[in-house]
Structure 1
Amino acid sequence: MSVDIDHIIQKSQEACASAGAKLTPKRKNVLVVLLSSPIPLSAYEIAERYKTRFNESLPVMSVYRILDFLIQEKLVHKLETASLYVACAHIACDHQHETPQFLICDRCLTVKEIGIKKHIMLELARSIQTTGFTLAHQQLELHGLCARCQNDSR
């Protein structure tokens, strides 16, 4: 999978500017680290890769603050079940996004982000409401084996 990081960063800067936020150099560099990784990363792994790539230390607490900003701006997702972070697969898209669902390979740790249709999420929300439960957020994470790892098992 080829990723045009420069194009994605440009789109990210435009999205932040239109929301009245700023993609500072350190925020941009953290996003570059995530875009460059084939697998999701922890905040500590981001700090390590940041230092290697940009020859500059970034404290882990700063990484967490930056990740909070990037999540708020919908540029990064936190995989709650693994406490790992991944760049949004739809940053450079010009269409309305659906609710993200993450397919996480338990063997190679790759993540595939797909969208769930709005009507499916509404039906799920209605079902949940009948129980009296209130959702904090609607992100879904499903674990299994990707096609490559399934083929390697055969």
Structure 2
Amino acid sequence: MEASEMNLADGEYTVEVTMEGGSGRASIQSPTELTIENGQAQAEIVWSSSHYDYMMVNGDKYLPVNTEGNSTFEIPVSVFDEPMTVIGDTTAMSVPHEVEYTLTFASESVASVQSSGGNGMGGAGIAIVLALVVAAVSSMRLRRRKSRRI
């Protein structure tokens, strides 16, 4: 299935992706970030290694979008639920090697990245803030009581 057939609105999503090929020592992060813009899908591929210096997808070369940490690429997703052939060039060996992989993006796993519209704090963050407020109020009351006794 092509991205345009999925009728996804422009926005940010996550998607489960599986990888096959290579020596089995490298892996990619899943789920991965998926961006839809004008009906075109683009995935952020994060390798388990910092030794990938480019990727080839449909004959086009993609360079990493980062300079530190594990190699990260933004590549187009042309198909969901079917293997998509990509090439990763690894420099981990004595000389660079192009390694063929297949990536399969699972359409049923696509999930919208929800924006809370607020400050981005989850329940734990709110609980911590409330606990600090209670502690501050208690401390102020205790100081007032002590000052009245003197």
* TM-score, normalised by the number of residues in structure 2: 0.24
Larger Rg over CA atoms: 2
Q: Normalized against structure 1, the TM-score is what?
A: 0.24
Name whichever structure is richer in helix by fraction: 1
In terms of fraction of residues, the more strand-rich structure is 2
